[in-house]
Amino acid sequence: MAKIPPIPDYIAAGTKNRLIRDKGAMAKVLFNEDLKELKLYRGTLEAFIQNEESKDVAVLEKHAVPGDDEFWSYHYPYQWQDVIGSQLRKSFLVSLLSLAEFHMGLLCRDVAEVVEARIKCDDLRGNSVFARARKYLEAFGNFQSPAQAVWEIIGDLYALRNSIVHNAALVDNDRNSARIQSLEHKAPGISFPSAGVVDLKSEFSIFAIEKVEGFLNDLHQEYVHLCNGFENG
């Protein structure tokens, strides 16, 4: 799991009671700010790609003969979407899943303090970081949400993230290739057009943001429910 910072000083004294009263409010503010910055980053990238593609098309239109489809098949600036855009979106996905892993880790840390668990999430072994966190939160925090389908799609996105980071997005050679390729039937804007190398469009980035945001919001609501139980118990 991502390196998780210790409990802040303003909470550390009387940790459990302070965490229960806070109910993850500060963590939620931090998550919202981080996500807002990532959305700004994505929007800036997409605007840049679109603007540069439009500039190149405008230049080419001066040389094109109306109705000459062959000219555009040879000269259209596909690189802005298929090469530059796809690479930038892969980088964005890595950042987005890093955000999800970090904030999920903060939550696991706080759950451990609230329930006074003898073991931490990092003590668990095997499977992916998200699978371990799910096991921990359900066992120690009695989390009922997110739903199975949500955990699965986040796991799919994380498998794709790992392929990008560790396998140059060569999905055919990845041990999770079937899982990653299943995203083509679950999400818009993802394809595998050449030798199993993943291609990402703008729609996929939007899909990934929505899924991660919903996932972390579900976790936060379960944490609030946990704290309410201790506060009212």
Domain ranges of the chain: 12-232
Give the mean pLDDT of 27-38. 94
10-19, 36-45, 110-119, range with the lowest pLDDT: 10-19
Q: What is the pLDDT of residues 182-233, one digit of tens each?
A: 898 999 999 988 767 889 999 999 999 999 999 999 999 999 999 998 876 5
Which pTM was predicted? 0.89
Predicted local distance difference test score (pLDDT) of residue 177: 81
3-state secondary structure the chain: CCCCCCCCHHHHCCHHHHHHHHCCHHHHHHHHHHHHHHHHHHHHHHHHHHHHHHHHHHHHHCCCCCCCHHHHHHHCCCHHHHHHHHHHHHHHHHHHHHHHHHHHHHHHHHHHHHHCCCCCHHHCCCCCHHHHHHHHHHHHCCCCCCCHHHHHHHHHHHHHHHHHHHHCCEHHHCCCHHHHHHHHHCCCCEEEEECCEEEECHHHHHHHHHHHHHHHHHHHHHHHHHHHHHHHC
Mean pLDDT (the chain) is 89
Q: Is the pLDDT of residue 143 over 80?
A: yes
